[in-house]
């Protein structure tokens, strides 16, 4: 099956490469093709259609009409004779028919093909005119094919020599040997205007590339490094670390296993790396001439030796010169050579290699119209994370259509690359050259200011769209809903964060921080969220920006920094009360209510949430009402009012469904699953957990999904399905660890400890429960502190260590008393009964079991009631009252069987 999938993917990708080469030979961008097809067919072509087609993404062959459009639109623009054009048309159609035939064969064999590859594959397109490097490629490919993979190859050489193109070509050639994926990461080691990527952030990108949600990224760099190596432990993946600054930047990014191939490109020799060095020299003269001919797009009859020598035989310079030659039918090689010599004269102060590349840039730049030169110069000031027409228009102070036209024009001159549909990026050398041409008359400070304002405005718009508020249009990207906004943030994340870091005035810092806050709260990582909001708060010297302190409080709360969260949220509430901002008072009260629920201050939480609900009802905003109802349902759950929690939760769920808010529905379902579980209605708990989990996955919301993964483990534990429960908890613990959610991890550890105890693995269970207890102590979550102690006491009792068990049991009982947690007191009363029974005091055991039974009936907890009855039966048996023992045990069995509890099997065996 795997081989079938690989055969399909590789064939599909090769066909995509065929179409990409045809388009590039025609000198067209993906955006131009999409616009032309939309205009011709009146069909709205989605942004990903041509990108997916050329990357070979899809479970079906490409649409035949789209392929025919490629042929009809690209072949006439390819500067070749009629015979080669017809031969190329036939070749494309033959390959399409072969792909269609393969699809039919696999389909008839019962093979299910995936819509997209379940492996990372973000390699740039292979350079269709790649030339030379045969010896270097042969050494690398043979080493891999012969099983002698050297984990790291460092590719170095002067600027413009083609290091990235070499690494990408090698990765494409070897892709089939590394079936678990191919990853490309630009480290920005030598990119003008962009700081080199820190290992902490580079690891985030690498981990997300292998499927780790950004929310799940550990806050600590060392933990990210360990997780990266664990993820790639037994996998075969190619990783290209492009444009590295130095050894220190690269070392933390190297996988630990020997099954991966890492290609590191750098202008510097990375001698400290334990790597095989591939030193790329300029192309041989014949290879340089052949590359120019392939890119020229028309027949070249004049000698090329002097031209390629003056270009330094550097691929980047040759590509730019060939693009200039291709786009000017009257230009001869002799004239181009004369122009190039003049450019060298103007750049005599540069070193030879730098002069060769800069001279090629210089010729293309001088040939641009004046307006495009201005556009090109300012484009060099962009941070470099990919630019589309909206940002380019803001940076260069032009209309959107004009910006799009300039980007396409620069693409034709080989001065920008199209990295995705409608997104372009300059080679770092070109960006450095462009920025160096900026004149005072360009007003670069104004341009940078305009770009900052654009990202602040667009991010605010996206933030509003994510929260279903109204958004502006005009010169800002349009958002049709929350998902559009989320995609925009994902695409522009590097640029928006770079803008935040470069902003030096309080107003822009605050605007960007507030716009990023909801997005980062959903996606993480949370250490980044808190860092951003803390910087914004530091700039609020007067302390009167309630919005900043509200978002800071939410960020601190999400990161489990409860004292800091309380301080920030109270400050926000004070500001909102003073300024009369009613709705924001409600927001702050709700956030405080959430915090106080988590820290066990339930009376304060109820007051805050009730006030928030009243304010929201005055405003009439149904989404806010549903959100606070979800929190009130949780509070009822913590107060052992499970039926009330279900009623409130179902009210919230109904509102969210009427609004079409899937994220809200998932939150409500999560709360309902909790309540159903504690009412011992396991089928309902399981159903709502599964439904909520699917909604969270659709929203790409890792935290909620992980919480419900843990909830499924809780249900399976209650059913006595210990193996299934253990798997759910193992997945959840890993997820919580990646997220940095100490509370979630601790809770899952407690329940995993119970599973291990039930399986008789006492030593492992004790270790897990102690880890959970230690975690709860670090951030002071009272319910968790009590639960971990009681479960540790239960374990020690089962292991016969009665003296040791009494201390954590007494501590748990005191904490539950302070919390007025009747369910917790029910559990500790039952555990006291078991402790006394094991200690030989059946009379005291019976007293505690009777107390537990009264509480269980009062709160309506069938499982707790059955546990108390079973305890009473065993105590009666110890006292010799066999008739009462049998009666109580059979009452307990009836409840266990009715609710589907795992204890039913154990008690049935006991009664046999």
Q: How far apart are CA 209 and CA 669, in angstroms?
A: 30
Whether the pLDDT of residue 192 is over 70: the answer is no
Of all residues in the chain, what percent carry a pLDDT higher than 90? 35
The domain at 1-109 falls in which architecture? Orthogonal Bundle (1.10)
Which band of pLDDT confidence, cut at 50, 70 and 90, is reported for residue 116?
very low
Which band of pLDDT confidence, cut at 50, 70 and 90, is reported for residue 257?
low
β-strands 423-425, 417-420 pairing:
antiparallel
DSSP 152: E
β-strands 261-266, 152-156 pairing:
parallel
pLDDT in tens, 747-790: 999 999 999 988 889 899 999 999 999 988 887 788 889 999 99
The mean per-residue pLDDT over the stretch 667-676 comes to: 93
Q: How far apart are CA 365 and CA 385, in angstroms?
A: 22
- Sign, CA dihedral 516-519-521-525, equals negative
Give the residue, 602 or 779, on which the prediction is more confident: 602
- pTM of structure: 0.63
Which band of pLDDT confidence, cut at 50, 70 and 90, is reported for residue 543?
low
* CB 616, CB 625: distance < 8 Å: yes
pLDDT in tens, 334-347: 988 888 888 776 65
**Which fold, 581-659?**
1.25.40
CB atoms within 10 A of CB 94: 10
Question: For 642, phi and psi rounded to 5 degrees?
Answer: -70, -40
Burial class (CB in 10 A: 0-12, 13-18, 19+), 327: middle
- Return mean pLDDT, the chain: 85
The mean per-residue pLDDT over the stretch 249-259 comes to: 82
**Residue 350, pLDDT score:** 46
Residue with tokens 């709502």: 688
Q: Token pair for residue 604? A: 């304060």
Q: How far apart are CA 560 and CA 362, in angstroms?
A: 55
pLDDT in tens, 824-866: 999 999 999 999 999 999 999 999 999 999 999 988 788 899 9
Which band of pLDDT confidence, cut at 50, 70 and 90, is reported for residue 117?
very low
Which band of pLDDT confidence, cut at 50, 70 and 90, is reported for residue 353?
low
Q: How far apart are CA 94 and CA 803, in angstroms?
A: 80
pLDDT in tens, 33-56: 777 776 676 565 554 566 667 777
Question: For 583, phi and psi rounded to 5 degrees?
Answer: -65, -40
SS (H, E, C) 282-347: CCCHHHHHHHHHHHHCCCCCCCCHHHHHHCCCCHHHHHHHHHHHHCCCCCCHHHHHHHHHHHHHHC
**Residue 2, pLDDT score:** 41
Q: Token pair for residue 812? A: 């748990």
**Residue 390, pLDDT score:** 93
Q: How far apart are CA 819 and CA 601, in angstroms?
A: 8
* CB 346, CB 362: distance < 8 Å: yes
Q: How far apart are CA 646 and CA 676, in angstroms?
A: 8
Whether the pLDDT of residue 114 is over 60: the answer is no
DSSP 57: -
Instruction: Determine the angle formed by the axes of helices 662-678 and 682-698, rounding to 10 degrees.
Output: 160
Q: Which of 220, 223, 255 is nearest to 241 (CA)?
A: 255
Burial class (CB in 10 A: 0-12, 13-18, 19+), 464: middle
Q: Which of 394, 396, 391 is nearest to 375 (CA)?
A: 396
The superfamily CATH assigns to domain 134-280 is P-loop containing nucleotide triphosphate hydrolases (3.40.50.300)
Q: Which of 115, 127, 110 is nearest to 169 (CA)?
A: 127
* CB 632, CB 613: distance < 8 Å: yes
The DSSP bridge partners found for residue 184 are: 240
The mean per-residue pLDDT over the stretch 55-74 comes to: 81
Which band of pLDDT confidence, cut at 50, 70 and 90, is reported for residue 216?
low
Within 8 A by CB and 6+ apart from 597, the residues are 605, 631, 634, 635, 638
Q: How far apart are CA 903 and CA 910, in angstroms?
A: 11
Q: Which residues of 205-215 are buried (b: 16+ CB within 10 A; e: fewer)?
A: bbbbbbebbbb
Q: How far apart are CA 239 and CA 186, in angstroms?
A: 11
The DSSP bridge partners found for residue 265 are: 155
Helices (H), 759-841: 762-779, 782-798, 802-819, 822-838
pLDDT in tens, 261-303: 889 988 877 777 777 888 888 888 999 898 898 888 888 888 8
Residue 526: strand, helix, or coil = helix
DSSP 821: -
Give the residue, 735 or 650, on which the prediction is more confident: 650
pLDDT in tens, 881-912: 999 999 999 999 999 898 888 888 889 988 87
Q: How far apart are CA 553 and CA 546, in angstroms?
A: 10
Which band of pLDDT confidence, cut at 50, 70 and 90, is reported for residue 115?
very low
**Residue 467, pLDDT score:** 74
Phi-psi region of 78 (alpha: psi -120 to 50; beta: other; left: phi over 0): beta
Residue 121: strand, helix, or coil = strand
Residue 712: strand, helix, or coil = helix
Best CATH choice for the domain 370-442 from the list 1.10.10.10, 1.25.40.340, 3.40.50.1100, 1.10.357.10: 1.10.10.10
Question: For 253, phi and psi rounded to 5 degrees?
Answer: -95, 0
Give the CB-side neighbour count of residue 230, counting CA atoms within 13 A: 10
**Residue 94, pLDDT score:** 87
Whether omega for the bond prior to residue 525 falls within 30 degrees of 0, making it cis, is yes
Whether the pLDDT of residue 153 is over 50: the answer is yes
Cα–Cα distances in angstroms (integers) from residue 459 to residues 131, 451, 522, 533, 788, in the given order: 42, 12, 15, 15, 43
* CB 563, CB 578: distance < 8 Å: no
**Residue 473, pLDDT score:** 66
Within 8 A by CB and 6+ apart from 623, the residues are 468, 655, 656, 659, 661, 664
Q: How far apart are CA 189 and CA 253, in angstroms?
A: 14
Give the residue, 667 or 325, on which the prediction is more confident: 667
């Amino acid at each position: 099956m795997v081989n079938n999938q690989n055969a399909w993917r590789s064939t599909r990708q090769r066909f995509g490469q065929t179409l990409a080469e045809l388009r590039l030979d025609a000198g067209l961008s993906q955006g131009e093709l999409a616009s032309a097809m939309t205009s011709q067919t009146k069909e709205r072509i989605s942004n990903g259609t041509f990108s997916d087609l050329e990357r070979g993404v899809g479970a079906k062959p490409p649409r035949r009409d789209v392929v025919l459009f490629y042929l009809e639109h690209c072949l006439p623009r390819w500067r070749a004779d009629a015979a080669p054009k017809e031969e190329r048309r036939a070749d494309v159609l033959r390959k399409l028919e072969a792909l269609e035939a393969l699809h039919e064969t696999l389909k008839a064999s019962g093979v299910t093909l995936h819509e997209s590859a379940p492996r990372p594959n973000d390699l740039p397109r292979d350079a269709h005119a790649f030339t030379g490097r045969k010896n270097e490629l042969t050494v690398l490919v043979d080493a891999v094919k012969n099983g002698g993979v050297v984990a790291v190859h460092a590719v170095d050489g002067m600027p413009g020599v083609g290091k990235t193109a070499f690494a990408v070509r090698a990765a494409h050639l070897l892709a089939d040997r590394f079936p678990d994926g191919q990853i490309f990461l630009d480290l920005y080691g030598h990119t003008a205007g962009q700081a080199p990527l820190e290992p902490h952030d580079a690891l985030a990108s690498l981990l997300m590339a292998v499927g780790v949600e950004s929310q799940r990224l550990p806050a600590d760099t060392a933990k990210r490094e360990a997780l990266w190596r664990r993820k790639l432990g037994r996998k075969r993946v190619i990783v290209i670390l492009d444009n590295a600054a130095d050894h220190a930047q690269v070392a933390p990014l190297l996988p630990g296993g020997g099954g991966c191939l890492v290609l590191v490109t750098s202008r510097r020799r990375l001698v400290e790396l334990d790597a095989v060095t591939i030193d790329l020299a300029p192309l041989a003269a014949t290879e340089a001439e052949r590359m120019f001919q392939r890119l020229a797009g028309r027949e070249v009859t004049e000698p090329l030796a002097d031209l390629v020598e003056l270009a330094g035989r550097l691929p980047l310079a040759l590509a730019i010169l060939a693009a200039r030659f291709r786009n000017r039918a009257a230009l001869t090689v002799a004239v181009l050579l004369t122009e190039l010599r003049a450019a060298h004269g103007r750049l005599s102060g540069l070193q030879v290699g730098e002069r060769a590349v800069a001279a090629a840039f210089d010729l293309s730049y001088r040939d641009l119209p004046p307006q495009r030169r201005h556009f090109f110069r300012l484009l060099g000031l962009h941070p470099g994370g990919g630019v589309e027409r909206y940002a380019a228009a803001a940076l260069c102070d032009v209309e959107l259509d004009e910006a799009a036209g300039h980007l396409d024009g620069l693409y034709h001159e080989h001065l920008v690359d199209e990295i995705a549909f409608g997104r372009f990026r300059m080679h770092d050398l070109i960006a450095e050259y462009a920025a160096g041409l900026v004149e005072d008359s360009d007003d670069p400070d104004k341009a940078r200011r305009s770009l900052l304002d654009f990202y602040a405005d667009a991010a605010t718009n996206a933030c509003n769209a994510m929260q279903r508020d109204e958004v502006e249009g005009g010169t800002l990207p349009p958002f049709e809903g929350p998902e559009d906004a989320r995609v925009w943030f994902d695409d522009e994340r590097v640029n928006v964060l770079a803008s935040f870091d470069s902003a030096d005035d309080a107003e822009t810092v605050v605007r960007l921080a507030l716009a990023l806050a909801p997005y980062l709260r959903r996606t993480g990582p949370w250490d980044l969220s808190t860092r951003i909001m803390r910087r914004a708060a530091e700039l609020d010297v007067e302390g009167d920006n309630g919005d900043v302190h509200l978002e800071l409080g939410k960020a601190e709360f999400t990161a489990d920094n409860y004292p800091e969260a309380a301080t920030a949220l109270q400050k926000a509430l004070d500001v909102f009360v003073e300024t009369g901002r009613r709705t924001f008072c409600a927001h702050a009260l709700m956030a405080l209510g959430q915090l106080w629920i988590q820290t066990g201050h339930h009376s304060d939480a109820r007051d805050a949430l009730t006030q928030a609900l009243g304010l929201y009802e005055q405003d009439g905003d149904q989404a806010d009402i549903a959100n606070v109802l979800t929190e009130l349902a949780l509070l009822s759950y913590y107060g052992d009012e499970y039926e009330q929690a279900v009623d409130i939760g179902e009210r919230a769920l109904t509102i969210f469904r009427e609004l079409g808010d899937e994220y809200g529905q998932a939150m409500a379902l999560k709360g309902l699953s909790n309540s159903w579980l504690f009412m011992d209605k396991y089928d309902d708990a399981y159903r709502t957990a599964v439904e909520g989990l699917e909604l969270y996955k659709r929203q790409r919301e890792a935290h909620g999904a992980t919480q419900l993964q843990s909830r499924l483990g809780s249900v399976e534990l209650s059913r006595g399905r210990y193996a299934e429960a253990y798997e759910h908890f193992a997945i959840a613990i890993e997820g919580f660890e990646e997220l940095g959610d100490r509370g979630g991890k601790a809770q899952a550890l407690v329940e995993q400890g119970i599973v291990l105890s039930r399986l008789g693995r006492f030593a492992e269970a004790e270790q897990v429960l102690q880890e959970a207890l230690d975690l709860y102590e670090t951030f002071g979550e009272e319910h968790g502190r009590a639960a971990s102690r009681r479960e540790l006491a239960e374990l020690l009792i089962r292991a016969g260590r009665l003296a040791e068990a009494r201390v954590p049991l007494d501590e748990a009982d005191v904490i539950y008393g302070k919390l007025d947690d009747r369910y917790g007191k029910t559990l500790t009363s039952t555990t006291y009964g078991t402790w006394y029974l094991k200690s030989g005091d059946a009379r005291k055991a019976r007293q505690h079991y009777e107390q537990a039974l009264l509480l269980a009936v009062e709160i309506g907890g069938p499982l707790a009631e059955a546990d108390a009855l079973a305890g009473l039966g065993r105590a009666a048996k110890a006292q010799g009252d066999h008739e009462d023992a049998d009666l109580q045990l059979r009452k307990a069995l009836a409840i266990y069987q009715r609710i589907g509890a795992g204890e039913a099997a154990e008690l049935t065996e006991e009664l046999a």
